[in-house]
Structure 1
């Protein structure tokens, strides 16, 4: 159990606001044709008036999104191979639209439940957007029940819960396990953590992951995907830390080469710290997050390596025609400070099929090794 949570008053708002940056980046990438996401516009106020983001942001958003989509789709297919439907839990989900994209895609039948958890302020905004949009609410089915003063929402397959993930999960996540439990311990379950653990103290994120691991230890299969920045101790990483406007890191780093070159208004605009990045000075250290907690297996790749060796060449060729990109070196420098790590926690009887889960290097690029 964690010690009494520290006082976070005054520190939550900057973290919550990083979701706005992510939503604007996703909107820009979808509008310009990098991604297909007809739902993100419903979560961005005055979406049609929002300017497009620079190419570095659009490409980074593309690589991040298609990679996590690949891992999620694999998870659903492997669950089907085991004769089961799966459940997905997105921690710090913000304005993410993955549920709606899955529910209207070819993997729809393989999904049992999709659960999202975030700060109450963020879940209230999302619940309001869902109720306001027929495009979103019709996909949820009926009945749709808004609860807890508008901060929670439940439907047959989609659940939205408010929680501060930094607090003791036995308390903050209790609603996921109360009867009837929205979280089924017997189903293959995938956790998605996109830029959320990095804002937490290491002991807080470890406690959170251990809670889920314990919940599924006896009967379930648990997979976890983490996307975040790492290696912030080098000169380029220090620029990212000084910026403290994480969602706009790609944009600012186009012109900034040192913390002294960063716009002072940016560093003062957000008081965001990244304590969760401290234990991970390199991408090779990232799997230790899972292995030290007793996960069966774990692996990490930088976005730079994923773009180079794991994205289909046809897709790279397609997006290269969308916008002119001159800053290839800058793009590589940014992408090598972001990584996707995936880990599996299995019982001995669950091996076999699940060992297939993970990113697969494209054959056309095998000679690069």
Structure 2
């Protein structure tokens, strides 16, 4: 780790090393990665969540792959590896155990004196590690650490380069030998000036070298704002992130400071490069897991940079040519403009139903209650909005809790409004699927809610239906359900064993006695059928056609296709739309023969989906970018971004949300966010209003 500025202390940075080591230990103990040495550096291996395991798996996999590739390419040469801010990294011990380190390889680790002392103590207590490093050698004057013939662990501060250079020379570093310098989440804690000096010093001192960096990028979107704030709250701020926010800026940093070439990839791009589809499926089934959005976003907000010069200029080139998962998509237009309403709905993975022109019910999901406790929510919220044409006042919107007689506290379920009404004119809603946890599906048989609106009062009761049949469709969540021709059409979803579905079921609710029946639509050998998917979106066009867009496929990668399901012929047709961004966990609606796709998640660096408008008559599309974090103006009781910017105090993430159209032209985006166990639970603070007339 590195010494910080007045904003960050050595102790705080060293604390990140301890947290990282425990997280890696937990990840390894749960079968993601093989490393028998990391447990020697922790007092207690506390269990982390599957999302944290996957994040550290990508990180460890990426750095390990890069080091192994360097050793393989340079197998016949004398080489050096210098790990800057090494912490409790175990790469050297693992490579020795596997026989990867030939005698001509020298491995150096540099860190704070306190970290070096603790690491040396752990090494000397472990017989297996002592065997890896071999006999100890005496330290040169003024150098603290632990030295052997191949392994040299020394104390040093990366901010003081003159001292660092003298110590490296004293322990045997040769500046004319091909050298790999590694900074794994280390430079990010330095000041911009100190970090740039280190990069420039390395380029000037080493004749043939490569500089490998792994750290955070993209601080300006909703997820990036939350990530950046997390490190600030931990008192270990990312001091260079604003100066070098994306892959292009990171590459430019090295090229402008003496390095001949530099390439950069996100952690998720590296993950796809290194692992096979079979390995990815195996990894995802190690533990119950359903936080795909946060996993993909985290993978897009960490990156590997490889800068090179001299004889090492092209060493990574052949490997990197195949690391290209960035799709050729339409250029995004100007950022959309939105209104942030006074209404606050801190929920995600919920569903909504429009019960009249300006009132929306929020059913289920994960969120905060009136006691501000996170968890599955059984109470129903009523969100009341004024029309966009009305004068905005302090009563522009409000949210009220409704206590139903049954709690629908599922996540990733579906709620479909039926045309059926009871004798008192109340609305009926078909609730189907969902989960409590990734191992516990619910609502395997639909629940019918009766919603009665009398003036300002709303009541919710359960309609008595027939008992469950002996056979039911496979329990699912992250599916879609729409109402067409007096039927509920359910498509796709996923199961508790991560099976991805592409079946279609037709559910019917009898008006007379609310009896529920179902049947499956079978595909034929002659008919085309969309690939299996979950977390897609579906909406209805012209009362007879279900439009399905995006989702996650069986390979757990975002899709960008669009399919029509015709309810009359019970057949599918794919629609080719050029330039559309891949996305999942988005919503959709049809407005004046235009399909509007709202938000979502993909794996493209710096190109998280905004709002896409697809012309259904020409099959062309326009992609609008989401606001980024710059300046925001405040007016009265709501916020308006005249510069299309996000307020860093209220980051917006458009996934796991819902959307409803009110007054025939205003789109409400309700809730959204996710449970990112690395950076905290994230809720969108405000209901968003979009004027559909502006999306042309």
**Same structural fold, with TM-score higher than 0.5 when normalized by the shorter chain:** yes
Measured in 1, the distance between the counterparts of 2:127 and 2:71 equals 27
Give the unaligned 5+ runs of structure 1.
246-266
1:111 Cα deviation (Å)? 5.3
1:144 Cα deviation (Å)? 4.3
Measured in 2, the distance between the counterparts of 1:355 and 1:332 equals 25
Q: Is the 8 A contact 2:21 2:41 kept in 1?
A: yes
Does 2:29 correspond to 1:52?
A: no
Q: Of 62, 67, 74, which aligns to 2:62?
A: 67
Aligned to 1:253: none
Q: Is the 8 A contact 2:136 2:146 kept in 1?
A: no
Measured in 1, the distance between the counterparts of 2:103 and 2:57 equals 24
1:9 Cα deviation (Å)? 9.6
| 2:271 counterpart SS class | helix
Q: Is the 8 A contact 1:19 1:95 kept in 2?
A: yes
Change over 3 Å in CA distance of 1:10–1:65 after alignment to 2: closer
The range that moved more, 282-291 or 7-16, is 7-16
Measured in 1, the distance between the counterparts of 2:167 and 2:143 equals 15
Q: Is the 8 A contact 2:143 2:154 kept in 1?
A: no
| 1:171 counterpart SS class | helix
Q: Of 243, 252, 258, which aligns to 1:279?
A: 243
| 1:340 counterpart SS class | strand
| 1:160 counterpart SS class | strand
1:304 Cα deviation (Å)? 2.6
Aligned to 1:356: 318
Aligned to 1:18: 16
Q: Of 214, 217, 226, which aligns to 1:227?
A: 214
Aligned length: 328
1:19 Cα deviation (Å)? 0.2
1:62-85: CA deviation from partner (whole Å, max 9, x where unpaired):
1111122111111111112xx313
| 2:55 counterpart SS class | helix
Query: Larger strand proportion, structure 1 or 2?
Result: 2
Measured in 1, the distance between the counterparts of 2:103 and 2:277 equals 28
1:207-256: CA deviation from partner (whole Å, max 9, x where unpaired):
11222222223xxx2011111111213322221222227xxxxxxxxxxx
1:281-320: CA deviation from partner (whole Å, max 9, x where unpaired):
2223221121111212111111233334542223212211
Change over 3 Å in CA distance of 1:275–1:362 after alignment to 2: closer
Aligned to 2:34: 36
Aligned to 1:162: 155
1:129 Cα deviation (Å)? 0.8
The range that moved more, 306-315 or 287-296, is 306-315
Change over 3 Å in CA distance of 1:111–1:70 after alignment to 2: farther
Measured in 1, the distance between the counterparts of 2:319 and 2:210 equals 9
Change over 3 Å in CA distance of 1:339–1:362 after alignment to 2: closer
1:148 Cα deviation (Å)? 7.7
Q: Of 293, 297, 315, which aligns to 2:279?
A: 315
Superposition pairs of residues 162-311 of structure 1, within 5 angstroms: 162-167=155-160, 169-178=161-170, 181-217=171-207, 221-244=208-231, 267=233, 270-311=234-275
Measured in 1, the distance between the counterparts of 2:91 and 2:8 equals 30
- When Rg is computed on C-alpha atoms for both structures, the one with the higher figure is 2
| 2:131 counterpart SS class | helix
Q: Is the 8 A contact 2:181 2:212 kept in 1?
A: yes
Q: Of 107, 125, 128, which aligns to 1:132?
A: 125
| 1:276 counterpart SS class | coil
The normalised TM-score by structure 1 is 0.81
Change over 3 Å in CA distance of 1:204–1:34 after alignment to 2: same
1:14 Cα deviation (Å)? 0.7
Measured in 2, the distance between the counterparts of 1:73 and 1:192 equals 13
Measured in 2, the distance between the counterparts of 1:91 and 1:359 equals 27
| 1:173 counterpart SS class | helix
What's the Cα RMSD here?
Answer: 2.8
Aligned to 1:96: 89
Q: Is the 8 A contact 1:88 1:191 kept in 2?
A: yes
Measured in 2, the distance between the counterparts of 1:232 and 1:362 equals 22
The range that moved more, 354-363 or 316-325, is 354-363
Query: Larger helix proportion, structure 1 or 2?
Result: 1
| 2:95 counterpart SS class | helix
Higher relative contact order structure (alpha carbons within 8 Å, sequence separation ≥ 6): 1
Q: Is the 8 A contact 1:93 1:116 kept in 2?
A: yes
1:186 Cα deviation (Å)? 3.0
Measured in 2, the distance between the counterparts of 1:239 and 1:352 equals 36
| 1:226 counterpart SS class | strand
Change over 3 Å in CA distance of 1:330–1:134 after alignment to 2: same
Q: Is the 8 A contact 1:75 1:357 kept in 2?
A: no
Give the unaligned 5+ runs of structure 2.
326-554, 560-581, 583-603, 605-696
Measured in 2, the distance between the counterparts of 1:174 and 1:14 equals 27
Aligned to 1:251: none
1:351 Cα deviation (Å)? 5.5
Q: Is the 8 A contact 2:62 2:271 kept in 1?
A: no
